[in-house]
């Protein structure tokens, strides 16, 4: 008995040390994966709804940039009038009915500050300054004869609020509303106005983190733990 008990004791102690080492490694891996980052990339699809010259339009855009200290987001955006908004529509022009088609492309420099950033809710204040070009073609009511063509460069500024509701860690609902203004007097009454956006919010970074931790690190930990226990039982 004196020769068996120490072997059992040291065997249990060695097993506990291995398990504690695995737990510590998993904890360190988790801290590394979910760690706070001072700088990280930002990418977003931005689809907006608005009105220009009393025409409902849809603007599709892409934003790229970086997030600093989880509070400040800055970058550039590229926007274009979506295809359905380029379809000629009936409007009144100088007391006559005509068809009007609009094309506009522009880019912006934007900054967004996170007022609130909690587990289930986020509230941001986006600011932007844009530069681009527009073209408006006005034809007769039958959309045959071209009556007038107007085009030129545009400078625009905008500000708003962006609300994100996050019932799950990596998917939720994004709502945004703001006001767009044009400093050019000839365009101000036509292009200045409210805009809004809504859609699914997806946190790609959180998906990547969870897949890396739960799909690889934690599964590897459980597999190593089973191997230790099987070795002990043998």
**CA gap 196, 26 in Å, rounded:** 44
Name 136's Cβ contacts closer than 8 Å, sequence gap at least 6: 53, 100, 101, 102, 103, 149, 150, 151
pLDDT at 67: 96
Q: What is the pLDDT of residues 92-148, one digit of tens each?
A: 777 788 888 888 999 999 999 999 999 899 999 999 999 999 898 888 888 878 888
Look over the chain and give the mean of its residue pLDDT values, rounded to a whole number: 87
Containing domain of residue 125, as a range? 38-203
Structure tokens at 153: 């460069």
Instruction: Name the domain count of the chain.
Output: 1
Name 217's Cβ contacts closer than 8 Å, sequence gap at least 6: 26, 29, 30, 33
Q: What percent of the chain has pLDDT over 90?
A: 50
Q: Is 174 part of a structural domain of the chain?
A: yes
**CA gap 229, 132 in Å, rounded:** 66
Neighbours of 222 (CB within 10 A): 12
Q: Is 97 part of a structural domain of the chain?
A: yes
Q: Is 176 part of a structural domain of the chain?
A: yes
Beta bridge partners of 46: 61
pLDDT band at 52 (very low <50, low <70, confident <90, very high): confident
Q: Is 137 part of a structural domain of the chain?
A: yes
Structure tokens at 47: 């689809």
Least confident range from 73-82, 153-162, 224-233: namely 224-233
CATH number at residue 66: 2.40.160.20
Q: Is 147 part of a structural domain of the chain?
A: yes
For 38-48, what is the mean pLDDT? 93
Q: What sign has the CA pseudo-torsion 17, 21, 23, 24?
A: positive
Q: What is the pLDDT of residues 182-200, one digit of tens each?
A: 887 666 567 888 999 999 9
Q: Is 48 part of a structural domain of the chain?
A: yes
pLDDT of 8 over the 70 cut:
no
pLDDT of 59 over the 50 cut:
yes
The structure tokens 């904890």 sit at: 27
Q: Is 93 part of a structural domain of the chain?
A: yes
pLDDT at 84: 82
Name 190's Cβ contacts closer than 8 Å, sequence gap at least 6: 52, 53, 182
pLDDT at 233: 67
Q: Is 210 part of a structural domain of the chain?
A: no
Structure tokens at 97: 């009915």
pLDDT band at 2 (very low <50, low <70, confident <90, very high): very low
């Amino acid at each position: 008995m004196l020769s068996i008990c120490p072997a059992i004791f040291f065997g249990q102690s060695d097993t506990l040390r291995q398990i504690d080492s695995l737990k510590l490694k998993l904890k360190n891996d988790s801290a590394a994966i979910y760690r706070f980052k001072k700088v990280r990339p930002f990418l977003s699809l931005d689809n907006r709804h608005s009105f220009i010259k009393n025409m409902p339009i849809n603007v599709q855009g892409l934003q790229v940039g970086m997030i600093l200290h989880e509070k400040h987001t800055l970058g550039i955006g590229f926007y274009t009038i979506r295809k359905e908004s380029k379809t000629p529509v009936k409007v009144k022009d100088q007391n006559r009915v005509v068809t009007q088609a609009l094309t506009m492309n522009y880019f912006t420099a934007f900054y967004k500050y996170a007022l609130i950033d909690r587990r289930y809710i986020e509230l941001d204040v986006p600011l932007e300054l844009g530069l681009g070009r527009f073209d408006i073609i006005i034809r007769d009511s039958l959309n045959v004869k071209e009556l007038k063509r107007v085009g030129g460069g545009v400078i625009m500024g905008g500000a708003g609020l962006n609300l994100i509701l996050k019932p799950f860690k990596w998917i939720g609902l994004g709502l945004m509303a703001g006001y767009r203004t044009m400093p050019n007097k000839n365009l101000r009454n036509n292009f200045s106005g409210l805009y809004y956006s809504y859609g699914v919010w997806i946190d790609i970074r959180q998906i990547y983190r969870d897949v890396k931790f739960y799909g690889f690190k934690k599964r590897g930990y459980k597999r190593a733990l089973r191997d230790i226990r099987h070795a002990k039982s043998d």
